[in-house]
Amino acid sequence: MFSLLTDFVIGIFEIVLDVVLFRRQRRKRGYSDRAFSEDANEIARLDLITLTYIGLASVALMLSLSFIAGVPVGWSIAVGIAVGVVWGIWRYMQLVNRP
């Protein structure tokens, strides 16, 4: 029970910290401030929906490289993780640069 409660508190702290850092990045790039709730909604959508799709696509790429293309497992995992990281950073930078 205590573990569940601490995970919940840490999750809330992490979301608030993500939104604060996101707002600071937007401010340094010269974009106008939006409402905190709008930024929180954007970060939550990125965390829940976009990163889930990126993770599923990376796993599908890993499995298809390993089983269909015959690439060694280590290389297929490395390629899948690299594609997921680049795609995730690209989506985050799109979010930061959106006016």
Residue 23: both structure tokens together = 């707002």
Asked if pLDDT for residue 13 goes beyond 90, the answer is yes
Report the share of the chain in percent with pLDDT over 90. 77
Torsion-angle region of residue 49: left (phi > 0), alpha (psi -120 to 50) or beta? alpha
What is the Cβ-side half-sphere exposure of residue 73, based on CA atoms within 13 angstroms?
0
Region 76-91: mean pLDDT is 96
User: Which pLDDT belongs to residue 33?
Assistant: 82
Local confidence band at 32 (pLDDT 50, 70, 90 cut-offs): confident
The one-letter amino acid at 50: T
User: Which pLDDT belongs to residue 98?
Assistant: 84
